Chains A and B, each alone.
Chain A
Amino acid sequence: KAGVTQTPRYLIKTRGQQVTLSCSPISGHRSVSWYQQTPGQGLQFLFEYFSETQRNKGNFPGRFSGRQFSNSRSEMNVSTLELGDSALYLCASSLGRVGPETQYFGPGTRLLVL
């Protein structure tokens, strides 16, 4: 099976702009989670989508939003970009069962905000 894919791999934006990142999960996986990775804060959970609905949310401002499509692909949007949004954004997919299960990660999108 193909792994988790993310596009684009690299992105440069300026403050105030908005950005959309895309994630395609492993075939058959219905859950997509997003994480922000920075040197100072480590890996932090943004949100999770399952069956086109946000099922769980981390502690991030409303500028960070997402959605999921009927084919389980997910997009993440960040509006009014700030310098502190520069990070590696990782998405992870899983089957979406209730309870513990394994998440598989994509290669990430490196966002640089100038």
Chain B
Amino acid sequence: AQTVTQSQPEMSVQEAETVTLSCTYDTSENNYYLFWYKQPPSRQMILVIRQEAYKQQNATENRFSVNFQKAAKSFSLKISDSQLGDTAMYFCAFKGANAGKSTFGDGTTLTVKP
């Protein structure tokens, strides 16, 4: 079974600064996707970024980028130029061959301070 661990329950960052959220996972599969989802207080789960395990290049989406270390089973999210709207809970998720099921970490609550 897969497990996803987010070791930082809460983090804060000043507006315009950079913050990195950590995630580690465990799996015996070789073909999988990893995701970071954002869940603001409104509760809508929004996809932030996706990484395919077979790709060596780290995914980037505007201010969001990941550091994917496949051998170490590590998948961190870097948010650059943090904005107040980035305040949310962030979930790291694993999606392998197991149909329809994503495995989520416990989440990291990020607060961006003005």
Contact = CB atoms under 8 A, between A and B. Distances in A.
A51 to B, nearest CB: 11
Main secondary structure of the interface of A (DSSP, over half): strand
Given A55-B100, A56-B101, A92-B45, 13 more contacts: A31-B100, A45-B102, A47-B100, A56-B100, A98-B97, A100-B32, A100-B52, A100-B97, A102-B33, A102-B95, A103-B102, A107-B43, A108-B44
Interface in B13-62: 31-33, 35, 37, 42-47, 50, 52-53
Nearest to A54: B100
A102 B2 CA distance: 17
Interface of B: 31-33, 35, 37, 42-47, 50, 52-53, 91, 95-107
Chain A interface size range = 20 to 34
Contacts, number: 72
A90 B37 CA distance: 13
